[in-house]
Amino acid sequence: MRYNEKELQALSRQPAEMAAELGMRGPKKGSVLKRRLVKLVVNFLFYFRTDEAEPVGALLLERCRVIREEPGTFSISFIEDPERKYHFECSSEEQCQEWMEALRRASYEFMRRSLIFYRNEIRKVTGKDPLEQFGISEEARFQLSGLQA
Amino acid sequence: MAPGSPPGPAIATMKLNERSLAFYATCDAPVDNAGFLYKKGGRHAAYHRRWFVLRGNMLFYFEDAASREPVGVIILEGCTVELVEAAEEFAFAVRFAGTRARTYVLAAESQDAMEGWVKALSRASFDYLRLVVRELEQQLAAVRGGGGMALPQPQPQSLPLPPSLPSAPAPVLSLPSAPAPVPALPLPRRPSALPPKENGCAVWSTEATFRPGPEPPPPPPRRRASAPHGPLDMAPFARLHECYGQEIRALRGQWLSSRVQP
């Protein structure tokens, strides 16, 4: 699949929600743990060799699953292939917890559901649709029907 | 569009979880926009008709509507959407910043389709969504009043959300910076971790164990308004949004006047 790699690389240079050096192991059998600078920017997780400016790779964090593995370790996998896991080793339980929380909230789809939730809560309290003032109340992307059943 | 690296073993392209991307492109969830568009192959290339699907901040394009796998994807962060002078009718462009950045020239098949696409694409970025969510978070906190935030009632199952507000005190929310073309300042560290709620079991990010937690750092100011009027730093969100609205209205004005042709 083609993609605008230059722009993705530029995105990897933007300020990150979270960034840390973690141990990372790819999903293939026999993968070795490697030190990587891992950086969360919007709904992408970039990973760099620790001394390089360009990322080795990126993971789009949509339809992903973040679970605890061994103590201090979590994995990311994707709905369509849950056994194919990217492992991340943290330096502490607290760091592991922090990353898992952040990654679970990192997807566009999660953010969209947050919006719909807030919209409804505000509507319930005030009787008004908060998106109307911004002229986006009819946007397809913010409708309740946009939620996956 | 294509990964920019030249052929040869010396330079590796960046890895991307393309298989997951393809599944995301073709999954059953409702899309944010879909339709045929003509895509210009390159600066001097011809247009190809492709089936486009917008989902979140990803603009996928397929050979046709029945294809199982996208030909490609345009990641929509840090771009602006503009009208262009083109031989094609109903043309518009997705333009990225940067010296050798690509501009994608697209053409719709009708005025309505073009307007629909421009609106959808200009609001497609994660950054934009995050701005709106932050604004609503503030509004909700405001209407609920100060201390002693009441927990919302559990939602009926029409909304797949078991919502809960954090027990941590609400962090001070700084207004998002305006979309100005300046590099972002180093961001403050997030407040420390939420009280852990997981019990260690697997949680799908698509199932909303929704938790509006401590604020992420302000997004980088990346999206450029077409006519920045000096520093809009700390502008109220309504003004910021007005800028987005102004762009749309300006474009509409141009479309309407360009339609008055002999």
Walk along chain B (262 residues) and give the pLDDT tens digit of each residue: 455 555 555 556 899 999 999 999 998 888 999 999 999 887 778 899 999 999 999 999 999 999 999 999 999 999 999 988 777 899 999 999 877 788 999 999 999 999 999 999 999 999 999 999 999 999 999 988 754 444 444 434 333 333 333 333 333 333 333 333 333 333 333 443 333 333 333 333 343 344 444 444 444 444 444 333 444 444 456 556 665 666 666 666 666 666 554 5
The pLDDT confidence band at residue A11, using thresholds 50, 70 and 90, is: very high
pLDDT for residue A117: 94
Verify whether the Cβ–Cβ distance B21 to A60 is below 8 Å.
yes
Verify whether the Cβ–Cβ distance A60 to B23 is below 8 Å.
no
In a domain, B247, yes or no: no
Closest partner CB to A63 (pick from B16, B30, B206): B206
Sheet holding A57-60, edge to edge: B15-16, A57-60, A44-49, A34-41, A18-25, A81-89, A73-78, A64-68, B203-204
pLDDT for residue A134: 82
* Overall pTM surpassing 0.80 (yes/no): no
pLDDT for residue B99: 73
pLDDT for residue B258: 61
DSSP letter, residue A144: G
Is the separation of the CB atoms in B225 and B243 below 8 Å?
A: yes
pLDDT for residue B254: 65
Q: Helices (DSSP H) in B30-125: which residue ranges?
A: 111-122
Q: What is the ipTM of this complex?
A: 0.93
Is the separation of the CB atoms in B214 and B168 below 8 Å?
A: yes
CATH number at residue B44: 2.30.29.30
Verify whether the Cβ–Cβ distance B212 to A8 is below 8 Å.
no
**Which CATH number does A5-110 carry?**
2.30.29.30
pLDDT for residue B84: 86
Residue of B18, B74, B75, B209 to mutate, testing the A interface (most A Cβ within 10 Å of its Cβ): B75
The pLDDT confidence band at residue A87, using thresholds 50, 70 and 90, is: very high
pLDDT > 90 fraction of chain A, expressed in percent and rounded: 86
Residue of A3, A63, A83 to mutate, testing the B interface (most B Cβ within 10 Å of its Cβ): A3
The parent domain of residue B113 ranges over 18-127
Higher-pLDDT residue of A145, A142: A142
Residue B173 has phi, psi (to 5 degrees) of -100, 120
Q: Which positions ≥6 away from A94 have C-beta within 8 Å?
A: B193
pLDDT for residue B174: 37
Higher-pLDDT residue of B222, A133: A133
In a domain, B261, yes or no: no
Q: Which positions ≥6 away from B253 have C-beta within 8 Å?
A: none
Digit-coded pLDDT (tens) for A112-127: 999 999 999 999 999 9
In a domain, B51, yes or no: yes
Q: Which two tokens stand for residue B18?
A: 């393309």
pLDDT for residue B4: 54
Number of domains into which chain B is organized: 1
Task: Tell whether A55 is within 8 A of chain B (Cβ).
Answer: yes
Q: What is the mean pLDDT of residues A71-77?
A: 97
All residues of chain B having their beta carbon less than 8 Å from the beta carbon of residue A123 are: none
Average pLDDT, chain A: 92
Q: Of A73-82, A130-139, B78-87, B175-184, which one has max mean pLDDT?
A: A73-82
Angle between helices B126-144 and B237-259 (to 10 degrees): 130
pLDDT for residue B30: 81
Q: Is pLDDT above 70 for A69?
A: yes
pLDDT for residue B255: 63
